Amino acid sequence: MDFGEEVWRKVKVIGSGAFGTVSLAITNPKEICMPPFLAVKSAELSSAYTLTKEGRILPKLQGCPYIIGFYSHGVSIEGKEDKFFFNLLLEYASLGSLGDRIQQYSSAGLPESEVISYTRSILKGLKHIHNKRYVHCDIKPDNILLVPSYSDDSSSGVEDVVPKIADFGLAKRVGKRVKKDAEHLRGTVLYMAPESIVHNEFEPHTDVWALGCVVLEMLTGNQAWNWDPDDPLSSLLDRIGYSDELPVLPGKLSLEAQDFVKKCLVKNTALRWSPDMLLKHPFVSRKLNDKGSIQ
């Protein structure tokens, strides 16, 4: 393929969302600082506010192996109408999302050893984000991407699967108030913390609540809140924000797993554990053997 002066070229669309589209792109072999494949998030320049915001935040969060890699951003002219697009050049997660992985297991839930490994990595990513004085505000399985880790010493060529936090379009600075919008909720309701619903509060502890929902979903294969999409959204908001109800923890889960989730899903934010505390919890501090099983 003749790239000419191009650094990268889109191959196909692999995803879409409110922000725009995600395309798989290949890079010019002459670009030694670029990997062979990229994920390119694109939106028309006139409606690229969320994407440009993400482009400002992501470079500040690099240096952590559990945050999706950022390479560059720029504007391209595309299509017959020569429209301007804003593009983010990101690490390509060839294994899809954590949401995809959970669906592969249907309603059985992932093996606990796998959940432990993923949870430990996500916690380290959250700790890094919070130490940089940011809140993600939309932690959920679809925003955790899975990237293979390659090793020359591995006979299979693949040593591990690394979960990486992605999609920082809703992220905000710690302590910065956000305007309440009655028509648009910030984040995804099934993973929203009670304080976000009641007080429009989005701080590091709200990411921890969302993590608790994600961990429970990994363990059970089902979302933390049993809710019928045909029911009014207000009923779910009331349950999460204004009642004493908490997600049900199946008895089949290990005691360590149940206690870990309980430490995340605490409605009193002063009692909710931080990522630093959770990294020391017995559920994630247990060692895994070479085969990924719990020792």
Report which DSSP code applies to 103. H
Residue 181 one-letter amino acid? D
Is residue 164 within 8 A of residue 93, CB to CB? The reply is yes
| Catalytically annotated residue among 2, 82, 100, 138 | 138
Fold of 98-285: Transferase(Phosphotransferase); domain 1 (1.10.510)
The percentage of the chain sitting over the pLDDT mark of 70, rounded to a whole number, equals: 91
Angstrom distance (rounded) from CA 6 to CA 269: 50
Angstrom distance (rounded) from CA 201 to CA 186: 10
> Which of the residue ranges 22-31, 38-47, 157-166, 257-266 would you say has the lowest mean pLDDT?
157-166
Binding residues: 41
For residue 47 the two structure tokens come to 């409606």
Angle subtended by helix axes 204-220 and 255-264, to nearest 10: 150
**Strand 134-135, strand 144-150: pairing:** unpaired
Q: Helix, strand, or coil here: 163?
A: strand
Mean pLDDT over 72-97 rounds to: 93
pLDDT value for 156:
44
pLDDT value for 5:
59
Is residue 202 within 8 A of residue 171, CB to CB? The reply is no
Q: What is the pLDDT of residues 188-247, one digit of tens each?
A: 999 999 999 999 999 999 999 999 999 999 999 999 999 998 999 999 999 999 999 999
Q: Helix, strand, or coil here: 213?
A: helix
CB atoms within 10 A of CB 192: 25
Maximum separation of any 2 CA atoms in the chain, in Å? 62
- Hey, which residues does 158 pair with through a beta bridge? 150
Instruction: Say if residue 106's pLDDT is above 70.
Output: yes
**Strand 20-27, strand 8-17: pairing:** antiparallel
Instruction: Say if residue 82's pLDDT is above 70.
Output: yes
Angstrom distance (rounded) from CA 198 to CA 127: 25
Q: Where are the domains of the chain?
A: 8-91, 98-285
138 is known as an active-site residue: yes
Instruction: Say if residue 274's pLDDT is above 60.
Output: yes
Which secondary structure element, helix H or strand E, spans residue 261, and what is its range?
Answer: helix 255-264
Binding residues for ATP: 41
Instruction: Say if residue 81's pLDDT is above 70.
Output: yes
Angstrom distance (rounded) from CA 57 to CA 15: 21
Q: What is the pLDDT of residues 147-160, one digit of tens each?
A: 998 755 544 444 58
pLDDT value for 271:
98
Angstrom distance (rounded) from CA 270 to CA 259: 17
pLDDT value for 292:
56
Q: Which of 216, 204, 207 is nearest to 259 (CA)?
A: 216
Mean pLDDT over 104-130 rounds to: 95
Sign of the alpha-carbon torsion through 123, 229, 246, 114 = negative
Fold of 8-91: Phosphorylase Kinase; domain 1 (3.30.200)
**What pTM does this model have?**
0.92
For residue 187 the two structure tokens come to 């984040």
Report which DSSP code applies to 274. P
For residue 10 the two structure tokens come to 């889109």
Instruction: Say if residue 181's pLDDT is above 80.
Output: no
Angstrom distance (rounded) from CA 93 to CA 200: 32
> Which of the residue ranges 43-47, 86-90, 177-181 would you say has the lowest mean pLDDT?
177-181
> Which of the residue ranges 84-88, 103-107, 133-137, 237-241 would you say has the lowest mean pLDDT?
103-107
pLDDT value for 246:
98
Q: Which of 12-21, 144-153, 243-252 has the highest mean pLDDT?
A: 243-252
pLDDT value for 254:
97
